[in-house]
Amino acid sequence: MATIRLTMAQALVRALAAQRTEIDGVEVALFGGVWAIFGHGNVAGLGEALAEAGDALPTFRGMNEQAMGLAAVGYAKTMKRRRMMAVTSSIGPGATNMVTAAAVAHVNRLPVLFLPGDVFAGRRPDPVLQQVEVFADATVSANDCFRPVSRYFDRITRPEQMLAALPRALAVLTDPAECGPVTLALCQDTQTEAFDWPEAFFAPRVWLPRRPPPDARELRAAVNVLKAAQAPLIVAGGGVHYADATAVLRRFAEDHGIPVAETQAGKSAMPHDHPLNLGAIGVTGTTAANAAAEAADVVLAVGTRLADFTTGSRALFNNPDRILIGLNVQPFDARKHFALPLVGDAGVTLTLVSSHLDNRRAPSAWTAAAVASRGPWREVVAEVTAPGNAQRPSDAQAIGAVQRSATAATIVVGAAGGLPGELHKLWDATAPGGYHLEYGYSCMGYEIAGALGVKMAAPERDVVVMLGDGSWLMMNSEIATSVMLGLKLTVVLLDNGGFGCIERLQRGAGGASFNNLLATARHQELPRFDFAAQAVGLGAIGVHVAGIAELEQALAVAKTVERTMVIVLDTDPAISTAAGGHWWDVGIPEVSGRAAVRAAREDYETARRAQRLGE
């Protein structure tokens, strides 16, 4: 057996560079590169190996380890899980900074390879700088924090362990059902140790996504239910995108006259102006989609994990005869909410279901009513997104301005606060992939970092980031990285003076305004932020605008420049779109000295009776 002598780190880098995938019939590298901030836990081993690899496995430097992980998440999502990135840090705070990014990837079922440096396997210098010591267990390090947020975790204490660990890691990263983050914690002495590696370990390998068909019995059961349906509804989740099934979904809906509602991850699966697209569903849903969800007797949930925002905390699908079909490549998700499971690839399975329905269409009255319900909602959208002349406009009005500036090639990116709800209801997505919201983990700070990964995956498209001042203050460092790498972003920063979304939730729960807006947080003097100047300080173009008219002018300028541009607009924290939406289960105190809280608790107990917990 032919071998080659390399360090563990050199072998890992060479093997990663050899992995391939196929996109639209063209073979490309599986890994788009490695995000790296070096420290004593990875600079001498993995750092030296990456420098030697050069463009065979390009290395990108970020400003914050969490942000690098979030950029890798944005890249994988935009690539529909077909390509991915690795992220490496030193031991200690660099590693634990990445745990939040791993959680984002885990919740959203997205592939990212985390390569944190770790303690010395040989323990000769214990405790090494930044080492976390657990008194009762010497095998634990800070990297054990990755275990609950990794689909696969391994700690490499011997070079030859990589022969088994890396193939398993790659299998998880590329598996449509298991897909999620993988952590290989690399002991820093092991990174530099040499081993005689079999040359076959570095042979190129092409990873193609499996398209598993459903079990014949599950298929038959689902078809029988759909044939009998009088009011069917499709809920399109992110799995529709990852399975490249948007065209199949559209054809299925058209052939069988079934309206479609979209989750946050599923939005843009259908064109916004398609007659059967009722728009967003659930807590942040449209009146059209939610009315159909309440009346539906069969709900075909395609590629969604059925989180509480989608199901209205289990209170939305309340037809007493409702049957839920869970079409998902992951059995864990297919069986949620006591659904009739239909485990398989979304595209393959929808095609098979359609072929067995014998041209069966939903009752014409049901389809016609669903299509007609779009009209009143479109009037709401037009009304709330109209420009207006308010000095502090609403988020909806800002979204309207960005929408009017957008093209079919625009990708809008968001993540946390009130904007995801407004965007889910109001944004008109014209093509698959044009709507990129991280709302599985709702991670503040994802917006700019995630958008950086989006731009890396789709450099030919305009990437527009919408975020609030809270997310900006948590993580704006990758503005500098976007400038450094020449990856232009247009950032629309809506400054509402704090955490306006949670302020509204707090007040809606009967609470007093407390600690969410800067004005109601403990302070001696209210801070005066100059976000535009901060953007300039990070190397971008920064401008503060007053009102929607100036925002539209600035968006026009942003299209003409080659550098990241940050546009700051003051908005009203109290305004959100009242139309649409649904109840969300947020616990209200049973005992309170505030009459408003006690009243909210009474309403809460009434609303909870609509939850269907045992079915």
Per-residue pLDDT tens digits for 73-86: 999 999 999 999 99
The pLDDT tens digits for 516-574 are: 999 999 999 998 899 999 999 999 999 999 999 999 999 999 999 999 999 999 999 99
Q: Are strands 182-187 and 152-156 parallel, antiparallel or unpaired?
A: parallel
Residue 523: C-alpha distances to residues 483, 518, 520 (Å) = 34, 8, 8
pLDDT the model gives residue 391: 86
| Residue ranges of the chain that CATH labels 3.40.50.1220 | 216-376
Please report, as a single letter, which amino acid is at residue 359. N
pLDDT the model gives residue 388: 86
Residue range 46-57: mean pLDDT, rounded: 97
Environment class of residue 148 by beta-carbon count within 10 Å: exposed (0-12), middle (13-18) or buried (19+)? Answer: exposed
Residue range 359-370: mean pLDDT, rounded: 97
Q: Are 86 and 39 in contact (CB under 8 A)?
A: no
pTM above 0.85?
Answer: yes
Q: Tell me the residue length of the chain.
A: 615
Residue 216: C-alpha distances to residues 353, 357, 360 (Å) = 11, 14, 19
Tell me, what DSSP letter sits at residue 40? Answer: T
Distance between CA 256 and CA 276 in Å, rounded? 11
3-state SS, residue 592: coil
CATH superfamily of 216-376: TPP-binding domain (3.40.50.1220)
Does the structure show a pLDDT above 80 at 615?
no
The pLDDT tens digits for 444-483 are: 999 999 999 999 999 999 999 999 999 999 999 999 999 9
- Band (pLDDT 50/70/90 cuts) for residue 613 is confident
Which stretches does DSSP call E strand in 10-73? Answer: 19-23, 26-29, 31-36, 59-60
| Residue ranges of the chain that CATH labels 3.40.50.970 | 3-206, 385-570
Environment class of residue 302 by beta-carbon count within 10 Å: exposed (0-12), middle (13-18) or buried (19+)? Answer: buried
CATH architecture for the domain at 3-206: 3-Layer(aba) Sandwich (3.40)
Joined together, the tokens standing for residue 66 give 């969490």
pLDDT the model gives residue 409: 94
Full 3-state SS string of 276-331 = CEEEECHHHCCHHHHHHHHHCCEEEEECCCCCHHHHCCCCCCCCCCCEEEEEECCH
pLDDT the model gives residue 239: 98
Distance between CA 61 and CA 36 in Å, rounded? 5
Q: Are 471 and 481 in contact (CB under 8 A)?
A: no
Q: How far apart are the first and last CA of the chain?
A: 58
What percent of the chain clears pLDDT 90, i.e. is strictly above it? Answer: 97
Residue 37: closest CA among 47, 22, 23, 27: 47
Q: Kindly list the strands in the beta sheet with 182-187, ordered across the sheet, starting from the edge strand earlier in the chain.
A: 59-60, 31-36, 84-89, 113-118, 182-187, 152-156
Q: Does domain 385-570 have CATH number 3.40.50.970?
A: yes
pLDDT the model gives residue 614: 72
- Band (pLDDT 50/70/90 cuts) for residue 338 is very high
- Band (pLDDT 50/70/90 cuts) for residue 390 is confident
Across 117-131, 146-160, 182-196, least confident range: 117-131
- Band (pLDDT 50/70/90 cuts) for residue 277 is very high
Residue 611 phi/psi, 5-degree rounding, is -70, 140
